[in-house]
Structure 1
Amino acid sequence: MDDIGRKSGHLMLITPERVFYAGLLGRPRARCSGAFNIYVAIEGGLWLTTSDGRESRAAMVALLPHVKHTIASDYRSVLSVVIEPESVCPGVLEDLSARLSGPDGKAFSDRIRAAYLALRERHAGEDFSSAEFDSLCLGEALPQRAVDPRVARAILQIGRFCGEPVTAASCAAEAGLSPSRFLHLFKEETGISFRSFRAWKRARHLLHFANQDINLAHLAQDIGYPDSTHFSHSIRRFYGLKPRAIFSGSRDLAIFRCNRTGSSGLTQEAG
C-alpha cells in the first residue's frame, strides 16, 4: 500500500470477478450496480432505501445485482465487497444474501472488517484469486459458475477494453453462431443480456483509473463511450455519482489490481 493510501486508510482491490473497496461513500443518491454488493459500516450504521420505498438501518447490508437503491452512512467512509454474478453458480448470491441478513450477519461483517485490516498490510506482487478473496472476506470460497467456452471468450474480450469495441456480432462470428443464437446463449449462461453486461463492465472499468489525474473525455472514449454525455449518464446510473465526483473523492485511494481470473500477480496502479 502506498504512503497516501496508508495515511488515509482508503484502498481498492480490483480483480476480474471481485472488488474490495474501503473509502468515501459520497453523497447518497440512487445507484444500480450490475454486481452483488455488500456494504459494511466502518463506524455507526448504514441507511438503505430501495426503489420500492423500503428503508432499513443496519451495520451491514447486501444488495443483489440490478437493485436500485440509495445507501448512506453515519461515517464518511464505508467498506464494500463486490461480487460479479456471472462468476458464481446460479442461486449462490441469493443464498448468501439471506445468510448475511440472518443470525450469522455479525460474523460476516466482523470478517469483512478484519479483511480490510489484512488488505492494508498486503503488498504489490502478491497473488490473489477469487477463491482467496472469498475466503478472506466471507470465510469460504463461493462455487464458481461453469460458463460455455464461447461465452467465456466473449466475457474476456469485453473485459480487455482495447482495440475495436466488442460487439455481439463479432462475438457471434468468433463463436460460429448467428447473432440471435449467440445473444440467447449469452443470457442463458450469464443471466443477463449482452448489452446490459457490456454496459456494466464498461462502467466498472473506470475503477482502475479512479485515483489518476486523467482527462475524463479521453477516458470515456478509451473505454468505449460514444461521448461524454453517455459516459456521465452511465456512471451516475451505476454508482450514483458523476465521474468527476468519483475521481475527486479517490485522490488518496490506493488501487491494486489482479489482471486474471484465478491466481495472478497483484500490481498497484500509479496514483
Structure 2
Amino acid sequence: MDNEGRESGHLMLITPERVFYAGLLGRPHQRCSGAFHVYVAIKGGLRLAAEGAVEGYSELAVVPPNLRHTIASDYRSVICVLIEPETVCVGALDLLAKRLAGAERQFFVGRIHAACEQLQHEPRDGDIFSSAFDIMCFGDALPRRILDARVVKAIAQIGRFSGDPVTAASCAAEAGLSSSRFLHLFKQETGISFRSFRAWKRARHLLHFANQDLNLAHLAQHIGYPDSTHFSHSIRRFYGLKPRAIFSGSRDLAIYRSGRAAAGDSAWTQEAG
C-alpha cells in the first residue's frame, strides 16, 4: 500500500469476482457496467437516476448489471461494491437487491462502512475468497453459480489478457462446438452474450492499473483494444468517465489484488455434456 493511499483512505480491493472501492466518484455521467453495483454514501446521500425508474435519494443504491444509470453523491467520495453476476446463482442478486432496499438497509450500510474501515486499517495481503468477501460486506456468502466446464474455460481465456485476442471461434473450437452452439451455450450459462461479456471484462481489467502512471495508448493495446478511440469510448460507456479522468482521480488510490476467485469453491463446474 503506498503512502498516498494510506493517507487518503481511498482504496480498492480487486478479486476475479468482486471489487470493493472507496474513493472519488467523479462527475455524474451515465454509465452501464456489466457488474451488480451496491453504492453506499460515505457522507450524506446518493442520487440515483436509472433507466426506466424514478430518480431516488438514499444512503444506499443498488444497480443491476447492464443497466444505464447516473449516480451522484453529496460527498465527493463513495463506496462501491461490485459483484460479477455470472458467479452467483440465478435469482440470488435479485433477492439481495430486495434485502438491500428493504428493512435491513441500515444494517447493510453499517456493514459496508465497517468493511471499509477494516480494509483501511487491516489491509489484506493475501487472496480473499468470494465467500469471505460477501460475509464481510453482507453478512452471508452468496450462493455460487455452477457453470458448464466449457464456459468456465472460455472465461479463463478471456481473463488472461495476453497474446492474441480471444474470439468466440477459438473458444468454440477448444470446446468442440460450432460457433453458433458455443455462443448459445455461453449466453445460456452466463446470461449475457460472449461479446458483451468480453467487452466488460476488458474494461474491468483497467482497474488493476488505475493508480499507475502509464501511457494510456500502450495500456489500451496491452488490454486488447484495437485503438485508443475504441478504448476511450468503451471505458466511458462502462464507467461514465474517460480513461484519463479515471487515472487522474486514482493517484492516491491504494489497490489490493487477489489472484484467486475463491480457491476450492470457485472452480465448481458441471461436467460438459
TM-score range, shorter chain: over 0.9
The match for 2:102 is 102
Q: Which moved more, 1:48-57 or 1:249-258?
A: 48-57
CA offset digits 1:60-116 (Å, max 9, x no partner): 000000110000000000000000000000011111111100000110111000000
Q: How much does 1:43 deviate?
A: 0.3
Equivalent runs, 1:229-244 vs 2, <5 Å: 229-244=229-244
CA offset digits 1:1-41 (Å, max 9, x no partner): 33211100000000000000000000000000100000000
The match for 2:268 is none
What are the ranges of 5 or more consecutive residues in structure 1 without an aligned counterpart? Answer: 265-271
Cα distance in structure 2, aligned partners of 1:161 and 1:126: 22
The match for 1:249 is 249
Matched position secondary structure for 1:160: coil
1:67 aligns with 2:67: yes
Cα distance in structure 2, aligned partners of 1:263 and 1:118: 22
The match for 2:55 is 55
Cα distance in structure 1, aligned partners of 2:124 and 2:105: 31
1:122 aligns with 2:126: no
- Residue identity matched to 1:68: R
Is the 8 Å Cα contact of residues 127 and 260 (structure 2) preserved in structure 1?
no
Q: Which moved more, 1:114-123 or 1:11-20?
A: 114-123
- Residue identity matched to 1:86: E
The match for 2:91 is 91
Q: How much does 1:122 deviate?
A: 2.8
The match for 1:267 is none
Q: How much does 1:49 deviate?
A: 0.7
State the percentage of identical aligned residues: 68
Cα distance in structure 1, aligned partners of 2:144 and 2:221: 33
Cα distance in structure 2, aligned partners of 1:79 and 1:258: 19
Cα distance in structure 2, aligned partners of 1:171 and 1:181: 11
The match for 2:131 is 131
Is the 8 Å Cα contact of residues 125 and 256 (structure 2) preserved in structure 1?
no
Q: How much does 1:259 deviate?
A: 1.3
Cα distance in structure 1, aligned partners of 2:50 and 2:182: 33
Q: Which moved more, 1:44-53 or 1:77-86?
A: 44-53
Q: Which moved more, 1:205-214 or 1:116-125?
A: 116-125
CA offset digits 1:203-239 (Å, max 9, x no partner): 0000000000000001111111111111000000000
Equivalent runs, 1:162-177 vs 2, <5 Å: 162-177=162-177
The match for 1:221 is 221
- Residue identity matched to 1:9: G
Q: How much does 1:52 deviate?
A: 2.7
Task: Output the aligned Cα RMSD.
Answer: 1.1
Equivalent runs, 1:1-40 vs 2, <5 Å: 1-40=1-40
Q: How much does 1:125 deviate?
A: 2.8
- Residue identity matched to 2:87: S
The match for 1:140 is 140
Matched position secondary structure for 2:218: helix
Cα distance in structure 1, aligned partners of 2:246 and 2:122: 24
